[in-house]
Every structure is written in C-alpha cells, then in structure tokens.
Chains A and B, each alone.
Chain A
C-alpha cells in the first residue's frame, strides 16, 4: 500500500516536468526555427552557443531581418504590406476556383481553368520568391581598414571619397564608394538600403509591397512577377466577362438581360471589376520597368541621375550597352542567380567578423 502511494505521488510531478519540457521545446521550435527574430532568440546559452546558425545571430544593431523555416525565407521588420499583397493575390484565385471554375469547365473548356491556374501559380510563386529571398546582400566588415578593437584610430580620408575607375575606355568612369556602415568597398551599381541597413548588389529599389529589396539576385524574378500578375489580371478579366456576357454568345440561353446575368454570376462580375482595378498599378510598374530595363538602368540610378542630369541623359549610364535587345535580355533572362553571399543557414562561428558589431567608420574633422 505504501509503495503504491509513493508511485501515485510521483506521477503528477513527472507529468508536469514533461509538459514544461514539451512547452519549452515547442516555444523554441516556434521562435528559433519557424519564425526567428534574432533579437528574441530563446537560448539560455546564447552568448556561448556553438550550435547556433548564422541567421539566429545579430550582433550588429539596426538590422531588421526576420527569418522563417530555419532561415530559408526572410522578411524585414516593417509594416507587413507583403501580407496584404499576398492576400490580394490569393483571394480572387480562391473565389474563381470555388465559384467560376466549374461553370467554365462545363460551358467552355477546362483548359481555360488550367491556363489561369498555371499563370496564377507563376505569379504567386514569383511573389513568394521576390519577397522572401536574398536580393544580393553583401557581407559586412570585409574591408575594415583597422583592427576591430582599434575603433578610436583615425579613419583614412581616402575611404570617404568617390573613386572613379576606367570602364569601357579611359574616359568612361565607374564609381566605387566605401560604405562606412557595412565596411566594404562597394562595386558599381551597389547601394546601401537604409530600410534593410545592408548593401545590396545592383539595388533597384526597396519594394514596400514585397517588404524586400529588389537587387541583383531577385530583379528578374520581380520582373517576371509583374508580367505574370498583369497577364493573370487580364486573363481573369477576360474569363469573367466571357462568363457574364455568355448569354449573348449562345442562342438558347435562359438569361436575357445583363442584370439577370450578373445576378446569376455575381462573383464573376466582382472578379471582373477586381481584376480591372488590380491591373492598373502592376501594369504601370511593368511599363516603367520595361522602359528602364531596355536601357539597363535601375530605378535608383535613374532617379539619382535625373536630379543631376535631366531625363534623357539619366538613361545613358556607363552600363547602358546601347542595344535594347541586349539590355532586355540581360535583365529578364541573362543574369544568373548566383549564390547567397551570406550563408545564413551555416553554423555560426563565434567571432566571425561578418556578424560582429562594428560602429560606422567616421571621418575625423578638425
């Protein structure tokens, strides 16, 4: 009897400790792997951890990255407008599949639904890729001119100048500048994004609808996203209008008036309006980027040159190949994706200079 009482007393304690351990494990999975804000990492031995990955570490202040699924996807700690963009992409497709897809399969052809689904899938996939992938972030602290413990040393004045180097000939310059925040000599066309607080190769712009920069590694995906979204909107509008005006195309239709048609197919009417409204902004962006990419000019270069040189000359930068086809090819199909230059999913080595906190280089002025 006493032994049974002893066993009966132990059960609640072991259950509690297992429950607590399970909760701690789920919390760790959620905060350290599923959604990782390096500032909120749950790790009792964070300072001395040998098991951390690079994406779980943030020693440098001012970085705003949040990672998902073990560092595979990333976003910025800003207003989540990209979530709204995602909803605006998914919602009409869901409505289409539920309410209109069957009618189109029965009355016209299933291939229309398949084609729409494929183009929508492309659009959504490009959106996810453009908004969560690395745009071409460059590693930090690679060109620090002094030892990290000697920050009080006078910074070299040359590192605050614009360096012009020869490009196609001795009179065509490309400029190289030192980024005093990232501590690297930036190649031409690389810019420091103040929102992401990182240098991005061939930075086009920081897109608030994607909540990510558009740079060398995801510029072509961004362009494909615009093109597929415009195509998807046009296709959805056509399919919806076909459904609404189908009564005019057949002789033995039960529907006789437009009002009857939209009463019978209200979602099609809604989708028609929605797709026409949703077409406006992506269409304008697509035209704008078609124009810029035909000169091999990024948005940032165009805007910064426009201020100093005016409309026409701002399109003719050093990297303009003077061929529309070549420029379009380079931007839409030519540039390889490359590799991520900051391996976020690699194991973190304590003291790795790329992830250490280093204050911005400052010029001493007398």
Chain B
C-alpha cells in the first residue's frame, strides 16, 4: 500500500470499495470534505451511506481504496477507538446514551481526554473537567436533570443529551446519521439550527433521506447511488440532474 497522499482536505476518500459476499456496498467511492465544511449526503436505500460511515469510523475495513483524515492519518489501518481519539465523532440514528448512567456521567464518559483503563481506576474528575461539564450542561439546558438516570429522560431530552455528549467529545469531524428520522417539522427545523451552530466550530457530514431537511441546511450535497458518487453540488443543482431524478423517481 502506498503512503497516504498529503491533502489539505479534512476527510479524503479515494477509490473505496467494500463488498459483502459479492455485493458491492461501496464501489470505487471518492469524496472530499474540507475543514470547516458541512456536507449532506443523500441517496436512496442501499446507496451505501451507512457503509461509508462505517468505513470512516473504522467499523468496516474497505477492500480497496484510501481513507485519509486530516491530511495524514490512514483510517483504513486504525480501529474505532483510535479514530475516535483522532477526532471523529459519530451520532447514530437512534439516540444511544448510556441508560443506566446519570446525565452527568454520560457527559463525563464522552468528555475528551482520559480513555485508558488504568488511569481511570484512580483518576477523579479534575476541576477543568468539572467546569467543562457545567458549561455543556448549561448549553443543553439539562443542569436540573444532571443526576437523573438517562433511562428516565424523554426522547427529545435524550437527543439533547447526545448532542451534549458530542460537544463534550469535541471532535474535528462529526458524522451524523439521519438525525431527523421520525421527527416533527418543528423538531426538524430545530435540529437543522443546532447542526448549523455546531458547524461553526466543527466539520460535519450529515447523512439524510429527508429533502426538506437538507434544503434547510443549505449546504453542498453529495448524491450516492449503488455505492458510488452520482452527483455533487447544491441541492438545486443535483435536483436538476436527470440521473438523480431517475434514481429517486424513475425505474
């Protein structure tokens, strides 16, 4: 394998192919995300969106291709924990918080910093860490619930807690998987606002089905189809592309 190409892009995918028993979930996919950018990735079911996320976060190893983060790190050789430590966060479609832990402990677990098991045996939270926790609790407006176990939170509160955990993790790049699935219009609009807010200090890749939400984000769009890139541009540009129209409507 050749040394990863030096690039200014934050995330660089080139010629990535993943196959499951002969079925190509990703087929020679290439993608560039610049620092500070927010990118929406759309595509019909089975287009390879989730597999792409799995490849970037180290859950799935590609059969071929390069995945480079921050111009130097070859993600194909690292595992989930390494990649997370490098600064890639992932938000799942279903809010996953640690239900048996309190809100505060959830945030503490996500807080950037100490991860090694032998340090954590004796380490008490430092003052800086406690300050940061207070800050995040204020942002997500959950200070009153901080000692409540996460299992008792409402669905919306869990979403907020998870956003708080992402803030605590403070990743350089945030991957968000279908954030508005099953949400009302109002919630969808709020979520778009929150993502734009986060984008001020983090790069974000959003995978989404919902066109109105993508429109609300107002960012560059990449259309995936059958594991490779079909089109790229503003939402209006790609919507005008006859191939995209055919993929979504045709047959």
| B is a partner of A | no
User: Which residues of A are in contact with B by a Cβ distance under 8 Å?
Assistant: none
User: Which residues of B are in contact with A by a Cβ distance under 8 Å?
Assistant: none
